[in-house]
Amino acid sequence: MRTTFTLRRFAATLALVGMVFSAHAQDPLSYARYDQVRTTDLHLDLKADFARKTLSGYAELTLNWIDKSARTLALDTRQLTISRVQVLKDGRWQPASYMLDKFDAKKGQALRIAIATQPEKVRIYYRTAPTASALQWMTPAQTLSGKRPFMFSQSQAINARSWAPVQDTPAVRFTYSARVNAPSGMRVVMSAENDQNGPGKNGWAFKMPQPIPSYLLAIAIGEIGVRNLGPRSAVYAEPQRLEAAAFELADTEKMISAAEALYGPYRWGRYDMIVLPPSFPIGGMENPRLTFLTPTMIAGDRSLNDLIAHELAHSWSGNLVTNASWKHWWLNEGFTTYVTTRIMESLYGIEVADMHLQVEQEEALASLKDIPAAKQALVPRDPDVNPDSYTDEGLAYPKGAWFLRTLEQRAGRESFDVFLRAWFDQHAFQSATTEQFVAFLRANLLNKHPDIMPEAELDEWLYGPGIPAMATRVVSARFAAVDAQRDAWLKGELQTADLSARSWIATEWMHFLNDIDKKANAAQLKELDDTFSLRNSKNNEIAFRFYLASVHAGYDVRQQLDAFLLSVGRQKFVVPLYAALLKNPKDAAWAKSVYAKARPRYHPETQGSVDKLIKK
């Protein structure tokens, strides 16, 4: 996934029933005592009520009691209305006593179930709130057809607890099944086995046989069509978007094969995707068996399919081997960003991969000025760090990948590939910590070849600020040619019409626009726009960068920017544009008027981010 989240430490591990988990520290963002009892399976039986904007029914948890003296099951909830709790005893469901702790704005409420024995199963009957943080309920007017409403979830990082009472921590993995009733004419899909031909008359049935952490629980309900892409992949989308989505995702089967050649078999059965409405707040969410995607990746020319490579890469890093808590998030996103580049290189060649990598590294270095040095480490050293005070700001993606690339360069690709595949194989369907990875790295690579990376440098990569000075930067030959033209153009030595930009691919345009931001003046941007019609670009990555540079330069693109902000809800685009507009007194009032219209169309996560900007 491509977004930012608050992180927190999880340390020490213990093997039990083939899984690895912490026995010495609890995830501070969860109330669950998974050192005492762990969920091994979850069954959901729910009904979707679009009028009330709720899911209601019950969750049935299968439990593995670790501490034989434990008599309380603590689950994570947020704004759930609990009607009753039952436990399975002697083959019969019997009532159980329970209580909800005082509400905490960050963590929600602990649901504490008092149990005289240690039952194998417990059922919680509940209803979600219309304001559940994981769920966005959309009106028909907010969809493409305008006929039916739409709902989708975003559980990462700790929002699963707002639509199911679970042990909401990546330290706990469980299989799950579900039956979901929805209004007639609407399809339900989940991060599980989906029946493409299911009528849904008696509810839509799902089964996820591989164990997942709670943040990968996902659901979407709406007017949804499906198109197969290959023998084990398909795309779901609103019917009016289905054809464009299928065209954009045509290389999916090739990507799966390329990833398997590098890191071993794909272990999740199918790799399906759903392209969600524009309000989906992030680029993609790697929900297993059904990746959630933003429609902003549809450019009409497959130029943004590195996003697909990224979400597919999570099938090994993140989904297969999961960070044990959000403190260790770089084990998810840093690894995935590295694997993404390898997939892109395998399919499209080193020239294209190097351009993507250079943009990634340049944006990482540029971001450092806005991130406090104390928050630039891959993982916080302080075991008692407040999770609310340690925000990754997205640096875990490129810095983690840069660290792994450095190891690859020094160990040699062949040796490093064997090492990385072994990491995935030996920790499959487990949750891991940075300490575990470092121990594995030393045992399987550094002890054999100590010259690859000294301990001091390893420490700097993991716990130090910024990017270590010894890191090697990628230099793309094609970008060098773009840079030469950019410098001449900014100086007025090269006419806009003489730029070779008509032959540039999207990545070259992104690189160029990144570099002229806050350097080009309004007249230069107008000429660039008149020549290449950038304000009307169908590629959202290009359009966003052009709009941002235009706002900074004072070039008027309000008509197109208004339409963009009303139709796109991806935080990566929306938040920086509002931030730039609000800093300029000439644009601030206009930006607030646009947001007043756009806010109901945005996901709650996006609303929260822009609300903070407005308050400042």
pLDDT, tens digit, for every residue of 405-417?
A: 999 999 999 999 9
Q: What is the pLDDT of residue 548?
A: 97
Side chain identity, residue 186: M
- Out of 127-131, 138-142, 325-329, the most confident range is 127-131
DSSP summary character for residue 476: -
A 10 A CB-CB count for 83 gives: 11
Helix (H) or strand (E) holding 248: helix 239-248
Q: What is the pLDDT of residue 393?
A: 60
- Taking only the tens place, the pLDDT of each residue in 182-224 is 999 899 999 999 999 887 778 999 999 999 999 999 999 999 9
Asked if residue 348 is part of any domain, the answer here is yes
Nearest to 253 by CA among 218, 305, 206: 305
When the pLDDT of each residue in the chain is averaged and rounded to a whole number, the result is 91
Q: What is the pLDDT of residues 590-601, one digit of tens each?
A: 999 999 999 988
pLDDT of residue 281: 87
Residue 343 bridge partners (DSSP): none
Distance (Å) of CA 96 to CA 11, 113, 120, 373: 33, 7, 14, 49
The predicted pLDDT at position 291 comes to 97
Would you say residue 490 lies in a domain? yes
CATH of the domain at 608: 1.25.40.320
Would residue 10 count as lying in a domain? no
336 and 400 both lie in a single domain = yes
Which residue among 433, 463, 493 closes a domain? Answer: 463
Whether the predicted pLDDT of 71 surpasses 60 = yes
Residue 399 shares a structural domain with residue 532: no
DSSP structural state of residue 82: E
| Among 245, 233, 339, 335, residue whose Cα is nearest residue 293 | 245
Dist. CA 154–CA 137, nearest whole Å: 12
The answer on pLDDT for 4 being more than 70 is: no
What is the average per-residue pLDDT within 13-41? 69
6 pLDDT more than 90: no
User: 407-423 burial, b for 16+ CB within 10 Å, e for fewer?
Assistant: bbeebeeebbbebbeeb
CATH code, 174: 2.60.40.1730
Q: Are strands 37-49 and 173-181 parallel, antiparallel or unpaired?
A: parallel
Enclosing domain of residue 576: 478-615
Q: Are residues 186 and 57 in the same domain?
A: yes
Convert the pLDDT of each residue in 520-554 to its tens digit.
999 999 999 999 999 999 999 999 999 999 999 99
Q: Of these residues, 223, 238, 311, 605, which one is catalytic?
A: 311
The CB-based long-range contact list for 493-497 (8 Å cut-off, 24+ gap) reads 496/524, 496/527, 496/528, 496/531, 497/531
DSSP, residue by residue, 250-270: TTHHHHHHHHHHHH----SS-
Identify the band that residue 5 occupies on the pLDDT scale cut at 50, 70 and 90. very low
**Domain assignment of residue 491, yes or no:** yes
Q: Among this protein's residues, is 390 annotated catalytic?
A: no
Q: How many domains does the chain have?
A: 3
Quick one: 189 and 74 in the same domain? yes
Please give the pLDDT value at position 17: 30
Q: Which of 196, 220, 249 is the last residue of a domain?
A: 196
Sheet with 233-237: list strands edge to edge: 225-230, 233-237, 272-275, 290-293, 284-285
Residues 46 and 174 in one domain: yes
User: 10 Å Cβ neighbour count for 459?
Assistant: 13
Q: Give yes or no: 397 in active site.
A: yes
* Residues 188, 56 share a domain: yes
Q: What's residue 25's pLDDT? A: 67
pLDDT tens sequence across 275-298: 999 888 888 999 999 999 999 999
Q: Kindly indicate the confidence band of residue 382, based on its pLDDT and cuts at 50, 70 and 90.
A: low
Stretch 56-75: mean pLDDT, rounded?
97
* Alpha-carbon span 363 to 519, nearest angstrom: 16
The residues pairing with 64 across neighbouring beta strands, listed in sequence order, are 38
pLDDT beyond 70 at 388 = no
Looking at residue 199, what is its pLDDT? 75
361 has pLDDT over 80: yes
405: phi then psi, degrees, rounded to nearest 5? -65, -35
Last residue of a domain, one of 440, 463, 486: 463
Specify the DSSP element, H or E, that contains 224.
Answer: none
The pLDDT of residue 603 = 86
Residue with tokens 């039916």: 148
Are residues 353 and 408 located together in one domain of the fold?
yes
Q: Is residue 233 domain-resident?
A: no
Per-residue pLDDT band at 19 (split at 50, 70, 90): very low
Once rounded to an integer, what is the mean pLDDT over residues 140-168? Answer: 93
The confidence band for 454, taking pLDDT boundaries of 50, 70 and 90, is very high
Contact present, 500 and 484 (Cβ < 8 Å): no
Q: Is residue 140 part of a domain?
A: no
Q: Is residue 310 part of a domain?
A: no
Stated pTM of the model: 0.90
Considering the domain architecture, whether residues 501 and 448 belong to the same structural domain is answered as: no
pLDDT band of 314, cuts 50, 70, 90: very high
What are the helix and strand counts (H, E) for the chain? 17, 23
Q: What are the Cα distances from residue 560, in Å, to 223, 333, 530, 536, 607?
A: 29, 33, 14, 7, 21
Which of these is catalytic: 271, 397, 547, 555?
Answer: 397
Q: Are residues 541 and 440 in the same domain?
A: no
User: Are 419 and 513 contained in the same domain?
Assistant: no
Report the percentage of the chain scoring pLDDT > 70. 94
Distance CA 359, CA 484 (A): 16
**Directed axis angle between helix 558-567 and helix 540-553, to 10°?**
130
pLDDT in the model for residue 144: 85
Does residue 172 share a domain with residue 67? yes
What's residue 383's pLDDT?
55
Residue with tokens 């938040």: 575
Does residue 538 sit within a domain?
yes
Residue 11 has pLDDT above 80, yes or no: no
CATH number of the domain that residue 337 is part of: 1.10.390.10
Whether 50 and 179 share a structural domain: yes
Cis peptide, bond prior to residue 157, ω within 30 of zero:
yes
How does pLDDT run across 562-614, given as a tens digit for each residue?
A: 999 999 999 999 999 999 999 989 999 999 999 999 998 888 889 999 999 99
